[in-house]
Amino acid sequence: MEETPSKVELAVQMTCQSCVDAVKSSLDGVQGIKSVSINLAQEQVIVESTLPTAEIQDLIEATGRRVVIKGQGTATTSHLGAAVVQLELPGPVMGVIRMVQATQDSCVIDGTIDGLTPHGKHGLNIHEYGDLSQACNSCGDHYNPMSARHGGPLDAERHAGDLGNVTAEANGRARFRIVDNRIKVWDVIGRSMVVHSREDDLGKGNMQTSAVDGNSGPGIACGIIARASGLFENEKKICQCDGVSLWNERDVPSAGPSRSQYAQPQQSQL
């Protein structure tokens, strides 16, 4: 696969130079990491790499510090568009996927999905509609503007939305980074992303059904692809306006009634 490094901006809890040193050494010499820049005053770490963002996050968190992903961008200063997907319905499988259009021909799709079958492979696709009224059942078919057969991400003939499989680790978490040459962020904003119950046969399986959906079974989590800010565009220390601090954000549901119990009293607007 084409090597397209991207940059991720992380907020890392750092109070002194020794924190900076610890973060720096946690990333030192790791294969796939091209550069690391750390700003202590802003508690900001920018990593340029070809690794899934979740792997970078895990490496830094292994030093005992909290890490929040703030944005993703390209190795150069600008990108062509960015989006984020929160996979949440129908539950309990959940995930966050970030997309950034690095160039006209490379879309970086970086994500984490939790609650999957351990060591299992699961088909991941962009579907036609951003309609979650019946969870994944109302998302329509694989996004397929060229009326092609279902295939794998590297096949000449495929649905544009065919992203192949993600693989869960022993803990049921899949951490992945896909660089796709067919998807354009601007074509898929407002559509949906769906992870499926089974392995996608990439169109190589049993005849008719394989050509339609790769026999990957029903969707087990889905979310709408929403426009997102890219790197450096999100300067607020508070992520939402409801008082959930940045450092609590990681453990808090991004919406819904249970979110409010994490909110701190708002003495001042930051």
**Strand 121-127 relative to strand 192-196, pairing:** antiparallel
Beta carbon of residue 84, minimum distance to Zn ion (angstroms, whole number): 22
Q: Rule CB under 5 A: choose which of 159, 182, 191, 196 binds Zn ion.
A: 159
Near Zn ion by CB under 5 A, which window of 70-78, 126-134, 140-148, 228-236? 140-148
Residues of this chain, 1-60, that bind Zn ion according to CB under 5 A: none
Task: Name which position in 142, 175, 177, 191 contacts Zn ion (CB under 5 A).
Answer: 142
The region of 12-20, 23-31, 129-137, 148-156 touching Zn ion under the rule CB under 5 A is 148-156
Task: Give one DSSP letter per residue of the chain, joined into a string.
Answer: -----EEEEEEE---SHHHHHHHHHHHTT-TTEEEEEEETTTTEEEEEESS-HHHHHHHHHTTT--EEEEEEEESSS--S-EEEEEE-BSSS-EEEEEEEEEETTEEEEEEEEESPPTT-EEEEEEES----EEEETTS-SB--TT-PPP--TT-SS--TTEEEEEE--TTS-EEEEEEESS--HHHHTTSEEEEESS---TT-SSHHHHHHHTT--SEEEEEEEEE---TT----SBSSTTS-BHHHHTTS-SSSGGGGGGPPP-SS--
Nearer to Zn ion, 70 or 159 (CB): 159
Residues 51 to 110: which contact Zn ion by CB under 5 A?
Answer: none
**Which of the residues 226 through 255 are near Zn ion (CB under 5 A)?**
none
- Tell me how far, at minimum, the Cβ of 206 lies from Zn ion, in Å: 15
Part in contact with Zn ion (CB under 5 A); list of ranges 69-77, 92-100, 143-151, 254-262? 143-151
Rule CB under 5 A: say whether 162 interacts with Zn ion: yes
- For residue 196, state whether it binds Zn ion (rule: CB under 5 A): no
Q: In what order do the strands lie in the sheet with 94-103?
A: 162-167, 121-127, 192-196, 219-227, 82-87, 94-103, 106-114, 174-180
Minimal distance, residue 270 CB to Zn ion, in Å: 45
Whole-number minimum distance, CB 167 to Zn ion, in Å?
Answer: 18
Q: Which stretch binds Zn ion (CB under 5 A): 22-30, 141-149, 224-232, 245-253?
A: 141-149
Q: Are 14 and 20 in contact (CB under 8 A)?
A: yes
Q: Is 122 a binder of Zn ion (CB under 5 A)? A: no
Q: Is 182 a binder of Zn ion (CB under 5 A)?
A: no
Q: Which stretch binds Zn ion (CB under 5 A): 30-38, 76-84, 156-164, 250-258?
A: 156-164
Does 127 sit near Zn ion (CB under 5 A)? no
Report, in Å, the least distance between residue 27 CB and Zn ion. 36
Nearer to Zn ion, 163 or 179 (CB): 163
Our finding on whether 128 is near Zn ion (CB under 5 A) is no
Q: Max Cα separation, the chain?
A: 63
Instruction: Provide the residue type at 61 as one letter.
Output: E
Interface with Zn ion by CB under 5 A: which residues?
142, 150, 159, 162
